[in-house]
Amino acid sequence: MPKVRVHYFSSTGNSQLAAEVITAGLQRAGWEASLKDIRTLKIEDETEDIISSDLIGFVFPIYAFRAAIIMEEHIQALPASKIPRQVFFAATYAGYLDRAFMRLRDFLVPKNYFPVAETTLICEDSWTAIRIPGTMYDTGWPEKASLKRLFDFSEKNIPQIWKQNADSPKAAICWVPFNPITLIAATFPIAIRRGKQFPIFVKKSLCTKCGKCASQCPTGRLKMMPFPKAQGNCIGCYGCINSCPVEAINTWFTNGRSRYRGPRLKLSDLLAPESQL
C-alpha cells in the first residue's frame, strides 16, 4: 500500500478542510494516508517518515500571491532526498495565486523532490482588509461541488499521476503568464508585511484577554502580556484578527471589516451517505 503524507498549514480552516478532503480521497483509493499540521511537525523527528513516504502533499493558503511564508519555510527546511521523490501541491485561495507554485518548485527540485501534480480550491477571502459583507468576498466558497472535485482528484488523478511518474518523476511545468497587475499590487502594503513588519493594533477597551488570538498564532510569537502583543516576526496570516471574537485586533485597513470565520462545510458534510461519493 503506497504511503502518502499530507503536510498542511491553515489559519482560518480552508486549507485544513482541503487537506482533510485530499487525505480522505487518497484513503478511499487505498493509500496509507495521514495528515500533519506543519505547526506541530518537527522535521528532525519526522525525517524517517518523510523519506520513507511514496508521496508528500503540501496544502496551504495563498497570501500575497505566494504560499504562506510558514509553508515556504517548511519546504525549504525539508531534508534533501537521495532518490527522486514525488510531491504535490494544493492551494486554497480567493482567485489569484500567480507564481506561488513555481517558487515552491524551485525550492524542491534541487533537493530531489518533484512536484508532479497541483490543484487548487477557491475559497472565501480571509484577507480581512478587503472583506465587505454581501460582496464578492463573502461567497460561501468552497461549495460541496468543488470539494467533491477535490476528493475525486485525490482519489483518481493523484494515484494515476503517481503511477505514471513512478520510474522517473518529472516536475510539472507551473507556467504562469506575465501579469503587470501583480507587479503593481505586490508593491502595496502587503509586500511590506512580507518584509516582516506587520503591526497589530489592540483595542484594549474591547479586548477580554481570552487568549484565542495567541493560542492560534502559528508562530507562537503573539503573547498575552496581558493584552496580545507580537514578540517578533509575524507571518501575516490574519489569524489573530479573524479569530478575535470581539474584533479587538486590527492591522492596516481592517477596522470595521467583517472577519472571515472559516468554511461553512466540514469533511463530514461531504462524506455523509446521502452525498453519494
The residues with which 117 forms a beta bridge, in sequence order, are: 88
Shortest distance, CB of residue 270 to ligand FMN, whole angstroms? Answer: 17
Q: What DSSP element (H or E) covers 268?
A: helix 267-271
Here the cell at position 212 is 484565542
Cell of 190: 502587503
Rank residues 164 and 233 by Cβ distance to ligand FMN and give the closer one: 233
Whichever of 78 and 237 has its CB closer to ligand FMN, that residue is 237
Burial of residue 258 (CB within 10 Å: 0-12, 13-18, 19+) is middle
Provide, rounded to whole angstroms, the least separation between the CB of residue 92 and ligand FMN: 3
User: Cβ 176 to ligand FMN, closest distance in Å?
Assistant: 13
CB of 151 to ligand FMN, least distance (A): 17
CB of 24 vs ligand FMN, minimal distance in Å: 17
Question: CB 8 → ligand FMN: shortest distance, Å?
Answer: 8
Exposed, middle or buried by CB within 10 Å (0-12, 13-18, 19+), for 80? exposed
Nearer to ligand FMN, 85 or 118 (CB): 118
| CB-nearer residue toward ligand FMN: 53 or 251 | 251
The residues of the shown chain that bind ligand FMN, judged by CB under 6 A, are 10-15, 61-65, 92-97, 123-127, 236-238
Q: Which residue is associated with the grid cell 489573530?
A: 240
Query: Angle 101-111-65 (CA atoms, 0-180°, nearest 5)?
Result: 20
Residue 223 corresponds to which amino acid?
Answer: K
Q: Between the CA of residue 163 and those of 2, 86, 88, 158, what are the distances in Å?
A: 10, 10, 13, 9
Tabulate helix, strand, coil % of the chain (nearest 5).
35, 20, 45
Q: Which is nearer to ligand FMN, 65 or 113 (CB)?
A: 65
Dist CA 130 CA 3 (whole Å): 40
Measured from the CB atom, the residue of 63 and 89 that comes closer to ligand FMN is 63
